[in-house]
């Protein structure tokens, strides 16, 4: 909640989009938030009033459907992200180091076919499309940029940059260096009406800034339009204050932020909690969000299944994977998430075993060099790794063998509940693991790394206790 002038509180206004919208709308309404600019399906599903006014925070599903981005006013983003982390034990949140609207002095580190790679400072990178700048740029150049679209830490894309500067206020965006009023809508009559009404709002854009209204603004009332324009004007003035007198581009540094951002990743347990929230509102099949997160095609299949029948029971792993994968003969990657937000691919392999109970076994051919982590045995050319995943399980074993088939050791990874998506098996590693050497000795390793992750705030104490409990059970089982 945000404090008002009388010491009371106003509800946080949030706009929600993507595959988690129904479930999150339910949660936000229950928490006293105000959901605005709701889509028609959401309006139909809820017995609630949805405003058309401005929003302080946007919650949008990421392109890979693994979680959501939370962006908007600095004072409320952390509150909303923290609320979303309460969805389930395996939900994680990370700060966005380059949120939408932030302005940086950047150094061009490389140029590619369609744009330039830019160092923003502190190890953060962005991508500047050539069409987003009026000047020719090449490696080594210094350039002032603003973040247009940010990216979650678990994917390999970089924040998209632009050399123009904009101040977003929700329904209204101010554009530095422009003048006049434009409306981003295909409804020409509504656009002309809104442009003509702008002078009646009693709010002026700062000198040197033009006004750009979104399509949603054509349906908003005067109070909402005024509030949005005021917010955009305040952010424009903040940007002016930060940029005035900073004519020299001095990379790499951050000059200004127009807001804040956090990324929230939902694990399998969290997705099933969101299923329960959605089920309170409308027909929801078991594993609704788990299946929708798999692919666009699977997402459409869920909509069809729910429209035709009233699904119940357990998550239909058998049906979902037969239809969309992975099944025996497919090739999948192993997506090894880290509690700090990074995502590492441990390689790709062939699915050599599949079962409708959730089993997916992946075999990889390995190259030589180095040793196997914690097992302290050489990694040699011709070695194989057989990893046996089980959907929803908090651990998985990998057995390493030589080219002759001799077992070199077993490494059991403790992680958030495994999800077997069509192209990749995904989870977040919880540091602590259990190994079994070729001579039969069993050892639990990396407890110190888990303790450190808890101290750093990367892993909750509840999740850490779950990981320790799983590791203890595995250690006992492997020692018998």
- Last residue of one domain, picked from the residues 164, 192, 213: 164
67, 265 in Cβ contact below 8 A?
Answer: yes
- Which residues make beta-bridge pairs with 209? 176
- At 7 the pLDDT is 40
- At 311 the pLDDT is 77
Residue with tokens 């090449």: 138
Beta carbons within 8 Å of 138's beta carbon, 6+ residues apart: 108, 111, 116
Assign residue 470 the CATH number of its domain.
2.40.380.10
- Quick one: which of 73, 70, 62, 74 has its CA closest to 93? 70
pLDDT digits over 283-337, tens only? Answer: 999 999 999 999 999 999 998 888 877 777 899 999 999 999 999 999 999 999 9
First to last CA, the chain: 53
Residue with the larger pLDDT of the pair 157 and 361 = 361
- Which residues make beta-bridge pairs with 456? none
Q: Which stretch of DSSP H or E encloses residue 199?
A: none
Q: In this structure, is residue 42 part of a structural domain?
A: yes
CA 101 to chain centre: 18
- Cis peptide bond prior to 337, omega within 30° of 0: no
56, 13 in Cβ contact below 8 A?
Answer: yes
Cβ–Cβ contacts within 10 Å for residue 65, how many?
A: 20
- Last residue of one domain, picked from the residues 164, 192, 214: 164
**Token pair for 393:** 């399980």
Is the domain of 416 the same as that of 445? Answer: yes
Q: How many domains does the chain have?
A: 4
pLDDT digits over 354-373, tens only? Answer: 999 999 999 999 999 999 98
Is the domain of 420 the same as that of 379? Answer: yes
- Which residues make beta-bridge pairs with 145? 104
Is the domain of 448 the same as that of 344? Answer: yes
Is the domain of 152 the same as that of 179? Answer: no
- At 312 the pLDDT is 78
Is the domain of 231 the same as that of 353? Answer: no
- At 55 the pLDDT is 87
- Quick one: which of 226, 210, 202 has its CA closest to 173? 210
- At 1 the pLDDT is 44
164, 175 in Cβ contact below 8 A?
Answer: yes
Is it the case that residue 59 has pLDDT exceeding 90? yes
- At 187 the pLDDT is 93
The number of residues making up the chain comes to 480
**Token pair for 59:** 């919650």
**Residue 457, domain extent:** 325-479
Q: In this structure, is residue 227 part of a structural domain?
A: yes
What's the number of CA atoms in the CB half-sphere (13 Å) around residue 319? Answer: 12
Radius of gyration for the alpha carbons in the chain, expressed in angstroms and rounded: 25
Is the domain of 272 the same as that of 335? Answer: no
- Quick one: which of 417, 416, 429, 426 has its CA closest to 326? 426
User: Phi/psi of residue 238, each to 5°?
Assistant: -65, -40
Is the domain of 223 the same as that of 91? Answer: no
Is it the case that residue 271 has pLDDT exceeding 50? yes
Assign residue 146 the CATH number of its domain.
2.40.50.140
Is the domain of 231 the same as that of 270? Answer: no
- At 313 the pLDDT is 84
pTM: 0.90
pLDDT digits over 77-105, tens only? Answer: 999 999 999 999 999 999 999 999 999 99
- Last residue of one domain, picked from the residues 251, 279, 307: 279
73, 230 in Cβ contact below 8 A?
Answer: no
- Quick one: which of 26, 13, 88 has its CA closest to 54? 13
- At 193 the pLDDT is 96
Is the domain of 411 the same as that of 459? Answer: yes
Q: In this structure, is residue 253 part of a structural domain?
A: no
Instruction: Report, as an integer, the average pLDDT of 338-347.
Output: 96
Q: In this structure, is residue 236 part of a structural domain?
A: yes
pLDDT digits over 200-229, tens only? Answer: 999 999 999 999 999 989 999 999 999 999
Q: In this structure, is residue 314 part of a structural domain?
A: no
Q: In this structure, is residue 396 part of a structural domain?
A: yes
Residue with tokens 């990216």: 151
SS3 1: coil
Is the domain of 231 the same as that of 366? Answer: no
- Range from 38-42, 226-230, 242-246, 419-423 carrying the lowest mean pLDDT: 242-246
Q: In this structure, is residue 258 part of a structural domain?
A: no
Alpha-carbon dihedral sign for residues 26, 32, 38, 43: positive
Alpha-carbon dihedral sign for residues 275, 277, 278, 281: positive
Q: Any idea what DSSP says for residue 36?
A: B
Beta carbons within 8 Å of 228's beta carbon, 6+ residues apart: 53, 54, 169, 170, 171, 172, 217, 220
- Quick one: which of 429, 154, 425, 420 has its CA closest to 291? 420
Task: Report long-range pairs for 110-114 (Cβ below 8 Å, ≥24 apart).
Answer: 110/139, 111/137, 111/138, 111/139
**Token pair for 84:** 């979303």
- Which residues make beta-bridge pairs with 332? 349
Is it the case that residue 5 has pLDDT exceeding 70? no
- At 416 the pLDDT is 99
User: Phi/psi of residue 317, each to 5°?
Assistant: -55, -45
Q: In this structure, is residue 304 part of a structural domain?
A: no
Is the domain of 374 the same as that of 467? Answer: yes
- Which residues make beta-bridge pairs with 262? 70, 95
Instruction: Report percent pLDDT > 70 for the chain.
Output: 98
Is the domain of 136 the same as that of 195? Answer: no
Q: Any idea what DSSP says for residue 417?
A: P
> pLDDT tier at 6 (50, 70, 90 boundaries)?
very low
């Amino acid at each position: 909640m945000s404090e008002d002038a009388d010491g009371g509180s106003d509800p946080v206004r949030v706009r929600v989009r993507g595959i988690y919208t129904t479930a999150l709308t339910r949660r936000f309404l229950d928490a006293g938030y105000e959901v605005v600019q709701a889509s028609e399906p959401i309006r139909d599903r809820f017995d609630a009033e949805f405003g058309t006014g401005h929003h302080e925070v946007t919650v949008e599903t990421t392109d890979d459907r693994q979680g959501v981005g939370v962006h908007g006013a600095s004072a409320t983003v952390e509150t909303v992200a923290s609320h979303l982390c309460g969805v389930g034990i395996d939900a994680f949140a990370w700060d966005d180091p380059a949120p939408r609207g932030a302005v940086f002095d950047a150094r061009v580190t490389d140029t590619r076919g369609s744009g330039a790679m830019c160092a923003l400072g502190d190890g953060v990178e962005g991508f500047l499309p050539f069409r987003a700048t009026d000047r020719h740029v090449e490696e080594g150049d210094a350039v002032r940029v603003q973040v247009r679209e940010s990216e979650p830490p678990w994917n390999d894309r970089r924040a998209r940059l632009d050399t123009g500067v904009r101040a977003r206020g929700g329904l209204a965006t101010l554009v530095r260096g422009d003048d006049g009023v434009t409306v981003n809508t295909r409804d020409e009559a509504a656009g002309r009406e809104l442009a003509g009404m702008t002078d009646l709002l009693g709010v002026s854009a700062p000198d040197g800034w033009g006004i750009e209204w979104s399509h949603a603004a054509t349906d908003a009332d005067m109070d909402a339009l005024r509030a949005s324009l005021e917010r955009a004007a305040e952010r424009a003035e903040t940007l002016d204050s930060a940029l005035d007198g900073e004519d020299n581009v001095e990379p790499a540094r951050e000059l200004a932020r127009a807001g804040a951002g956090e990324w929230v990743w939902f694990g399998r347990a969290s997705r099933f909690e969101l299923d329960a929230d959605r089920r309170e509102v409308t027909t929801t099949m078991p594993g609704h969000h788990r299946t929708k997160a798999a692919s666009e095609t699977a997402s459409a299949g869920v909509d069809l299944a729910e429209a035709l029948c009233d699904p119940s029971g357990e998550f239909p792993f058998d049906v979902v994977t037969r239809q969309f994968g992975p099944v025996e003969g497919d090739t999948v990657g192993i997506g090894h998430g880290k509690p700090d937000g990074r995502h590492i691919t441990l390689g790709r392999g062939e699915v050599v075993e599949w079962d409708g109970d959730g089993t997916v076994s992946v075999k990889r051919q390995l190259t030589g060099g180095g040793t196997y982590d914690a097992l302290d045995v050489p990694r040699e050319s011709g070695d194989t790794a057989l990893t046996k995943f089980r959907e929803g399980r908090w651990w998985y074993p990998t057995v390493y063998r030589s080219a002759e088939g001799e077992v070199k050791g077993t490494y059991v990874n403790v992680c958030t509940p495994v999800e077997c998506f069509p192209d990749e098996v995904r989870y977040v590693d919880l540091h602590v693991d259990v190994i079994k050497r070729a001579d039969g000795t069993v050892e639990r390793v990396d407890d110190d790394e888990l303790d450190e992750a808890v101290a750093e705030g990367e892993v909750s104490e509840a999740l850490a206790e779950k990981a320790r409990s799983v590791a203890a059970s595995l250690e006992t089982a492997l020692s018998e």
